[in-house]
Amino acid sequence: MLAVSFLGASRVTSSSEKIWSDLGPAGRRLAGFLFTFPDRPHRRERLIDLFWPELDAERGRRAMNSAVWRLRKLLASAPEYKEGHSLRTVGPETILERTPWLDVDTWALLEAAQTTLSGPEPDLGSAAIKEILAVLYRYEGPFLDGEDADWILEERERLHSLFIRSAMIVVRHLGLCAQYHDAILLARHALRFDPYREELVRHLLTLLALDERRIDAIRYYDHWIGMIRKELGISPLPATRAAIEEIRDLHNAENAQHLRARLVGRDERPRFAI
């Protein structure tokens, strides 16, 4: 198994990190592109224009050949690799194929989001939730962080959106199952990468209160409101202010039950296509 990470620090495990670094900046961008768009042919001329636009035709071809050779060498470091598979050149086209022994974090996120966003939440059993949680915790930052090509920015936004939407659904699901500890951990993890996502903040405040940590919820809100006023110059939405007031007034089981209903909220909507 070869584990490839693009969400946060790009790296390959179960392999030599030196091989990954030897790809070079353009080679790593090429690898990211091929892993992002697998199982489809890419014309070599287009890849050269994308990743070596500053080189003339001959030097561009040599750079492309070298990068493909190095990427193939990286793939070949996996015991399951078979010559002529995974990364193929067919005439003027290059194709990277999905294989069971390639564990790519972006592929895993897309699959988890497909499960999370496509069906009703009651279908999320404990085994499915466990697998989805493992994938969501692999999210360590923006896709190909530090790069700014148009296709990277577009894919970065798409993957981030899928991560946040999936995390919010799983947070709510765990909370409704009274698994407050796991729900709080996931909410905090997601907020590391999107601290101003107000709906997720409301979920976290609600979960802390339901977990009998009302003081922690109030402290988090006070810190968060100070941050958004300083960084963004804005105030919380009415829904967030209403949630924290309800938490401040939380004194009995009936109030807690009403607060728990906030986790159902308005988001019982059809899922979006991915």
* Per-residue model confidence as pLDDT tens digits over 124-155: 788 999 999 999 999 999 999 999 999 999 99
Block residue for tokens 């979920």: 203
Residues contacting residue 173 through CB under 8 Å, at least 6 positions apart:
121, 124, 129
Q: Are 261 and 209 in contact (CB under 8 A)?
A: no
* Per-residue model confidence as pLDDT tens digits over 161-211: 999 999 999 999 999 999 999 999 999 999 999 999 999 999 999 999 999
Task: Say what the pLDDT of residue 78 is.
Answer: 86
Where exactly does CATH 1.10.10.10 map onto the chain? 2-99
Q: What does DSSP say about strands 2-5 and 11-13: parallel, antiparallel, or unpaired?
A: antiparallel
Task: Say what the pLDDT of residue 274 is.
Answer: 53
- pLDDT exceeds cutoff 90 at 14: no
Task: Say what the pLDDT of residue 120 is.
Answer: 63
Task: Tell me which amino acid residue 30 is.
Answer: L
- pLDDT exceeds cutoff 90 at 118: no
Q: What does DSSP say about strands 2-5 and 102-104: parallel, antiparallel, or unpaired?
A: parallel
The more confidently predicted of residues 15 and 206 is 206
**Crossing angle between the packed helical segments 24-36 and 105-118, to the nearest 10 degrees:** 30
Number of H helices, E strands in the chain: 12, 6
Assign residue 144 a region: left if phi > 0, alpha if psi is -120 to 50, beta otherwise? Answer: left
11-15, 51-55, 85-89, 226-230, range with the lowest pLDDT: 11-15
- pLDDT exceeds cutoff 60 at 272: no
User: CA angle, corner 15, sides to 14 and 20, nearest 5?
Assistant: 135
Handedness of CA 271, 269, 264, 227 (dihedral sign): positive
DSSP 8-state secondary structure symbol assigned to residue 147: -
The rounded percent of the chain whose pLDDT value lies above 70 is 91
Q: How far apart are alpha carbons 49 and 45 in whole angstroms?
A: 6
The rounded percent of the chain whose pLDDT value lies above 90 is 74
pTM: 0.90
Task: Say what the pLDDT of residue 267 is.
Answer: 47
Q: Which residues pair with 4 in a beta bridge?
A: 12, 104
DSSP secondary structure string for all residues of 28-43: HHHHHHHHHSTTS-EE
Task: Say what the pLDDT of residue 42 is.
Answer: 98
Block residue for tokens 């899922």: 271
Task: Say what the pLDDT of residue 122 is.
Answer: 52
Query: Tokens in use for 77?
Result: 């470091």
Task: Say what the pLDDT of residue 268 is.
Answer: 44
Whole-number mean pLDDT of the chain? 90
Q: Which CATH architecture has domain 2-99?
A: Orthogonal Bundle (1.10)
8-17, 104-113, 144-153, range with the lowest pLDDT: 8-17
The more confidently predicted of residues 120 and 260 is 260
* Per-residue model confidence as pLDDT tens digits over 213-263: 999 999 999 999 999 999 999 999 999 999 999 999 887 666 777 788 888
For residue 148, give the 3-state DSSP assignment: coil
Task: Say what the pLDDT of residue 12 is.
Answer: 86
Residues contacting residue 194 through CB under 8 Å, at least 6 positions apart:
160, 164, 200
Residues contacting residue 87 through CB under 8 Å, at least 6 positions apart:
34, 68, 71, 72, 75, 94, 95, 96, 97
Where exactly does CATH 1.25.40.10 map onto the chain? 104-263
Task: Tell me which amino acid residue 53 is.
Answer: P
Tell whether domain 104-263 is in CATH 1.25.40.10.
Answer: yes
